Amino acid sequence: MTTDQIRYFLEIGRCGSIIEAAKQLYITQPTLSRQIAGMESELGLKLFQRSRHGVQLTPAGETLYNQWSTLADLYTKSVREAAKSARGMTESLSIGVLDGLKIDGFLPRFLFFLRNLRPDVHLILRRLSFAEIIEDIRSGRLDLAFSLDVNFFGHPELFVQNVKPYSSAIVVPARHPLAGKEKLTIADLKDETLVIVNREECEKGVEVIADVCKKYGGFIPKFQYVPSMANVLLWLESGLRCAILSMEISLNESADAKVFPLAGASRSFVQMACSRSAEKSSVVMAKEYFAGQNL
């Protein structure tokens, strides 16, 4: 039995579907079915119960799935550590940044600081959605994350540090009738459908925008929900929707949109977050670095 076969078995167990697992593994369904049939024959065990609705692990399959999941994680971690040793790296630091969030003014300076003191640290940088950031911190795939404060609200398991304050703004397409005004208020959005990430991505963000519309505009907003900040920016750049966004979102510099800063809104922050149980020395350095910033 090969490590590929174990990987195939784990993916089917995770998906509950041979068709979906084949898509995720980028192999054909017949090839995947043959590999699993070969495993069952070699082990003398039935691993999956098949039905019209997909597949389910048998008791034997569930036992192997639970134990091999740990083995697969150990294998991946061991290979990654070996690769770092070969490069002379002693520690990795995986950093996630919210889609569309501007990093100038804080992240490059921190990375310069870190590389000067710890050139041995292997850096991994990734752009992620609101939900992916939370999921990846919890799973350990991320060591640090930078996002808007609404992303980390209601997650007491995270250590959170303010990095920089930000203001909110009304953003409208450049060809929208509202773009011709000198100033905009929340009340001007009463008849607009606002594009916003859905509740599954960032429930607190939806609540905050709804409260702002009710408090400052006197109306309950109409929302068009999309699955990520990248999709919010796409609808704005396409000229089809308006939005209320952080001034730290990079679309604010697009020629296809016009930005109207909001006055009087409560103070908000770009924040850094990590697991409260994080022990990596580079994470500790990040916490100390940003705690020392004058906000």
Q: Are residues 159 and 283 in the same domain?
A: yes
Q: Are residues 205 and 64 in the same domain?
A: no
| CATH number of domain containing 48 | 1.10.10.10
% of the chain exceeding 90 in pLDDT:
73
- Residues near 48 by beta carbon (within 8 Å), at least 6 away in sequence: 12, 36, 55, 56, 57, 58, 61
CA atoms of 229 and 234, how far apart (whole Å):
9
For the chain, the maximum distance between any two Cα atoms, rounded to a whole number of angstroms, is: 75
Decide which of 267 and 42 is more confident: 42
Q: Are residues 32 and 70 in the same domain?
A: yes
How much is the pTM? Answer: 0.69
The number of distinct structural domains making up the chain is: 3
Q: Are residues 30 and 69 in the same domain?
A: yes
Region for residue 140 given its phi and psi (left: phi exceeds 0; alpha: psi -120 to 50; beta: otherwise)? left
CA atoms of 261 and 245, how far apart (whole Å):
10
Q: Are residues 223 and 255 in the same domain?
A: yes
Q: Are residues 202 and 260 in the same domain?
A: yes
Does residue 252 carry a pLDDT above 60? no
Does residue 89 carry a pLDDT above 60? no
pLDDT, residue 86, reads: 66
| CATH number of domain containing 143 | 3.40.190.10
Q: Are residues 234 and 172 in the same domain?
A: yes
For residues 274 and 287, the answer to whether their CB atoms sit within 8 Å is yes
Q: Are residues 80 and 97 in the same domain?
A: no
Give the residue from 85, 102, 126 where a domain finishes: 85
Q: Are residues 22 and 159 in the same domain?
A: no
Residue 128 belongs to domain spanning: 89-165+269-291
β 168-173/257-261 pair status: antiparallel
pLDDT tens sequence across 45-63: 999 998 877 899 999 999 9
Give the residue from 85, 107, 141 where a domain finishes: 85
Q: Are residues 18 and 66 in the same domain?
A: yes
Q: Are residues 178 and 259 in the same domain?
A: yes
Q: Are residues 208 and 151 in the same domain?
A: no
Lowest model confidence (mean pLDDT) among 83-87, 182-186, 200-204, 216-220: 83-87
- Residues near 7 by beta carbon (within 8 Å), at least 6 away in sequence: 25, 72
Give the residue from 59, 85, 111 where a domain finishes: 85
